């Protein structure tokens, strides 16, 4: 007999019909969601938000101000001040992008120059000792 009780040397067979049925619950019954109106509303909201995030639906804010009787001076003043600021903001943002690009170019130049200098120092270190006695070369190697 093996460790788990099967006779040695005999071919074992598996017969699924011999397995007792635990219960007769189907998958549909296990995952059945009761009709909860709050859950249904949350699922609808989730779908709408996903559509907005995936840009399947375009939001139209123009219809909000179509009601001529609606007045909110605070919001109107905020919108006017934002419209005044936007051109200046776009101008400054463009300048910032330009400055950032120039900065990146300068960093690349400095990095390239540093590699060149490091290569030159490595070359000087490999020179024969007779050249290393020169005061200028000694100063470069020490730094």
* Spans of the chain, pLDDT less than 70: 1-36, 60-70, 129-133, 141-143
**What is the residue-averaged pLDDT of the chain?**
77
pLDDT digits over 88-108, tens only?
Answer: 999 999 999 999 999 999 999
Residues 95-122: b if buried by 16+ CB within 10 A, e if exposed: eeeeeeeeeeeeeeeeeeeeeeeeeeee
The pLDDT assigned to 88 comes to 92
pLDDT at 11: 59
Q: How far is C-alpha 111 from the geometric centre of its chain's CA atoms? A: 28
């Amino acid at each position: 007999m093996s460790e788990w009780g099967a006779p040695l040397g005999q071919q074992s067979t598996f017969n699924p019909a011999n397995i007792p049925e635990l219960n007769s619950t189907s998958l549909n019954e296990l995952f059945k969601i009761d009709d909860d109106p709050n859950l249904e509303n949350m699922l609808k909201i989730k779908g709408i938000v996903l559509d907005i995030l995936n840009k399947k639906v375009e939001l139209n804010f123009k219809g909000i101000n179509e009601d001529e009787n609606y007045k909110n001076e605070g919001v109107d003043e905020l919108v006017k001040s934002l419209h005044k600021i936007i051109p200046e903001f776009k101008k400054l943002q463009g300048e910032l992008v330009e400055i950032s690009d120039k900065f990146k170019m300068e960093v690349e130049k400095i990095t390239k120059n540093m590699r060149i200098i490091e290569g030159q120092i490595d070359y000087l270190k490999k020179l024969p000792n007779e050249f290393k006695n020169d005061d200028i070369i000694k100063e470069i190697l020490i730094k």
